[in-house]
Each structure stands twice: as C-alpha cells, then as structure tokens.
Amino acid sequence: MKKRIMIVGPTQAGKSSLANILNDTSRPLKKTQDVIYGRNTIDTPGSYIENPSMYKYLIATAQTASHVLLLIDSSRPVEVYPPGFAKTFTCPVIGVMTKIDLEPENAPLCTQQMQSIGVSGPYFRISLTDNTGVGELKEHLLGTSN
C-alpha cells in the first residue's frame, strides 16, 4: 500500500490547494466534510482539527500516512492545535505556514505555535499565490520540485 502525506489544518488554510500541488492535479476546491485521498495526499476537513471530538479520526487516518503536514495560516494564526498535538502521530510531522505573503509579520507567532504543538523545524513557509517555498516542500516530501 502506498503511503500518502496527510494534510491537517483549519478551514481556509490552503489544505486542498496544497493537496492539488502535491498531486499535480487541479481538483475543484470545495468545502467538504470528507477525507479526500489523492495520488500523494490525504486531505482532511478543517473541522477535524477545529473540533476536539474529531481528533481520534485524524490520529486513526494518520496510521496510513508517510508524513503529517500541520498547517498554520499565517494570515489568521488562530490556535487550533492543542499543545503537544504533533506528538500523537507515529510518522514524521512537518510544520507548514501558508499564506506567508499576506501577513509576513506573523512569522514569529506561527513559529511559536509550531513549537507549542510539538513540531520541530525546519518549518516550510509557503505562498500558493506565487509558489514561494512550494518547490522546497515538494522536494522534501516527494524528492521532486517541479
């Protein structure tokens, strides 16, 4: 069975857009309550991290993942992850800060949040508007940057 990269983050943090990039596809973006399995990714609904009663589904789904990406939206760095949350996963957890072009002054706050949730660096700071940092993230995850 092929291992996929699980993407976790709050609503509107860029999960599905990032999944499209990692899957080299352009699936239409729509809010859904379903876990969507792509070629390389597992795209989870934002409600799964925004509702503590759903954590068990994230943890169970991650059992089939090669990596877990925990996203923080730099333009809205609300704290949705409980302290130490990254430690609940058995595979590597990677911190991704999205929308870095919108509120770059929030970078220190996002870094502090990553540390609080137990994600060790390096953190990937990306913008899906101009693809800043996307090549580095793809290279790290898939061994490809195109």
Summarised one tens digit per residue, pLDDT across range 23-82 is 988 877 676 788 999 999 999 999 999 999 999 999 999 999 999 999 999 999 899 999
For position 108, what pLDDT does the model report? 95
Is 89:131 a contact under the CB 8 Å cutoff?
A: no
CATH code of the domain in which 70 resides? 3.40.50.300
CA Rg value for the chain: 14
How many structural domains is the chain composed of?
1
Summarised one tens digit per residue, pLDDT across range 2-26 is 689 999 999 999 999 999 999 988 8
Strands of the chain, DSSP E: 4-8, 36-37, 41-43, 65-73, 93-98, 124-125
Domain that holds residue 98: 4-142
Is 73:61 a contact under the CB 8 Å cutoff?
A: no
